[in-house]
Structure 1
Amino acid sequence: MIEYEKELNPEQYRVVTEEGGPLLVLAGAGSGKTRTLTYRVAHLLENGISPERILLATFTNKAARSMLNRVEDLVHRYTGKIMGGTFHSIAHRFLRSYAFRLGYEKSFSIVDTEDARQIIAQAMAELKIDTKLTKFPKNNIIAEMISLALNTESTLEEVIASRYPFFVHLSPEIHQIACRYEQKKRDLCVMDFDDLLINCRRLLLDHPDVLQILSDRFLHLLVDEYQDTNIIQAQIIDLLASGHRNLMVVGDDSQSIYSFRGANFENIIHFPERYPDCKIFKLETNYRSTPEILHLANLSINNNENQFPKALKAVRGKGMRPVIVSAQNVLKQADFVAQRITELS
């Protein structure tokens, strides 16, 4: 058995050993978030939870593999039956089993970003749109528009108006392309990455029997980097947890940086409203930075009115005071950083 009190600090220990139910873990930068998640999974296994009943959603598949490898080292037990990976990979696995319920063949294919752009280019050609003559947005820009609309649950027109105002006059044509793109994907029996999420949510909403099967299968759900989830991802997790409510989300509202891709930090801010009975934990012991850096970071974020207050505390001793360096461009900035690394090595 793992000696958790020796391996973890008191903040981490409380999270790892907490019983089920909705848990919100606010993990400040450098506070051992990954370690806490890893030991949480190990603790579940040591307390009799079968690996196949645990779902771990991470920001990258590499992060999931790394965490599960650490768990194996801790408990000396095979973790391959734990479903771990990104939301897209998890949705893909669900859809491989149940996509026929949505009218897809089981042998549907997944198109990557480049393939999706090619299909959009074909749709544009079929609609006889010449980007060179009309200064029309290129296929990669249209792909971004369509993706952002889906991931933020906005209309295409709203996305164009807010993010691409210089193309507002072309909204009708762009809408036509989007519709043609959707039809072509259906005809080809393919899904793009956004479709994986959209169709997974639709599967869970429209087919209660499938939701029941999956909710019963995964008794414990853990989500990493929750501040960077979008609306659809948060809804998928909420649906899967709707039966048992054993959901632990880990993140830091102060580190949400992917809104340009549709991430919505309100998922973490409003978690206590969706789960009024949730327990909130804070990891505020920082192992990465000096007190001077943390002091500056704390002062910088204090003016944010829409946040969970946190006060990061440094484990490391005193260091240099942070300085502001004004660089002419990113290349000069990189040169400066490389030079400082060389000086400090």
Structure 2
Amino acid sequence: MTDFFTRKKNELQIKLNEVQQNAVMQTDGPLLLLACPGSGKTTTMIMRIGYLIEEKHVNPKRIKAITFSRASARDMTERFKRFFPRHPPVDFSTIHSLAFTITRTYLQKTGDAFELIEGGGKGKQAITKSMLLKRFYKETLRDDCTEDELASLSTFVSNVKNRMIPFNEWEKVPAPFDKAGSIALKYEQFKSKTKGHLLLDFDDMLSIAEQALRVDEQLAEQYRTRYDYILTDESQDTSLVQHRIVEHLV
């Protein structure tokens, strides 16, 4: 029987170098693949998944691949289908999609209803993140915010959440303009003011998922035991809270 790399070279015209081959075959314990853009990290990752299935006989359902944009998730799904058309699909998703699944499970357990206020979704949202930030900007600074200020404020809120900075430190974090920390706090307090009903933006999905995996051992075990292998693409783009979610899972 020809070896895995020879078969794939013949089938796909893909030839991996020695370092890439070593990365594919390193299937026990943690592995960091560090290389410059365009050097074939994602291809190596897809080949590693195929190696796990064909050579290590791992069930594709026991493999989770995480990336950080929907475009990347689609690209990896399509590449896997092209490289390994005979195998069942592997679970490729964005970190936000994974976090949303964990958050939804956790909030069902706690009995909290939730409403997404970012991303559009189906129908027209009664409340949006932008609407709330504009309202609290005006309440705080007695003026209307510009589109640039709104964008910088939204980025500020996302940044402090992704860095897992405690609420009581938000007003001390360097901000794009005066009182941005106070506005961000008002925004957060409003979203949870109705008991049993939360307003969530995209970053809340990450924060709540991390919290769920940290404090609910039963739920954490449920997700930890779902997969035997977890691979993340473009890990350099991982924020602290995203990295913590992956840490909890492994």
Query: Cα deviation per residue 1:21-49 (whole Å; 9 max; x = unaligned)?
Result: 11111122221112101101111121221
Larger Rg: 1
Correspondence for 1:215 among 207, 216, 224: 224
Report the secondary structure of 1:31's partner residue: coil
In the alignment, is the contact (CA less than 8 A) between 2:23 and 2:48 conserved in 1?
A: yes
> What letter is aligned with 1:145?
F
Amino acid at match of 1:227: Q
Asked if 2 retains the 8 angstrom alpha-carbon contact of 1:204 and 1:239, the reply is yes
Partner of 1:90: 98
2:63 to 54, 57, 68: 54
> Is the 8 Å Cα contact of residues 66 and 94 (structure 2) preserved in structure 1?
yes
For structure 2, the residue ranges without an aligned partner over 5 or more in a row are: 10-14, 121-127
Q: Find the counterpart in structure 2 of residue 131 from structure 1.
A: 143
Correspondence for 1:12 among 1, 9, 20: 20
Equivalent in the alignment of 1:201: 210
Residue in structure 2 matched with residue 76 of structure 1 by the alignment: 85
**Contact conserved, 2:136 with 2:183, CA < 8 A, in 1?**
no
Give the secondary-structure state (helix, strand or coil) at the position aligned to 1:218.
coil
User: Are the equivalent residues in 2 in contact too, given 1:123–1:180 (CA < 8 A)?
Assistant: no
How has the CA–CA distance of structure 1 residues 198 and 54 changed in structure 2, closer, same or farther, with 3 Å as cutoff? same
Residue identity opposite 2:82 in structure 1 = D
TM-score, normalised to structure 2, is: 0.79
Identity, % of aligned positions: 27
Which residue identity lines up with residue 19 of structure 2 in the other structure? E
| Contact 1:151/1:231 (8 A) holds in 2 | yes
1:117 paired with 2:125, answer no
Structure 1 counterpart of 2:39: 31
The residue that corresponds to 2:107 in the other structure is 99
**RMSD across aligned positions (CA):** 2.8
1:278-324 Cα deviation digits (max 9, x unpaired): xxxxxxxxxxxxxxxxxxxxxxxxxxxxxxxxxxxxxxxxxxxxxxx
CA distance in 2, matches of 1:171, 1:124: 8
Question: Could you tell me the TM-score, scaled by structure 1's length?
Answer: 0.59
One-letter code of the match for 1:216? Answer: T
2:1 is aligned with 1:3: no
Contact 1:214/1:240 (8 A) holds in 2:
yes
Aligned in 2, Cα 1:144/1:30: closer, same or farther, shift over 3 Å?
closer
CA distance in 2, matches of 1:39, 1:205: 32
1:143 partnered with 2:151:
no
The superposition leaves residues 184-218 of structure 1 with CA deviations (integer Å, 9 ceiling, x where unpaired) of: 58775331110110010111011101111111111
Please say if residues 192 and 199 of structure 2, whose CA atoms lie closer than 8 Å, have aligned partners that are also in contact: no
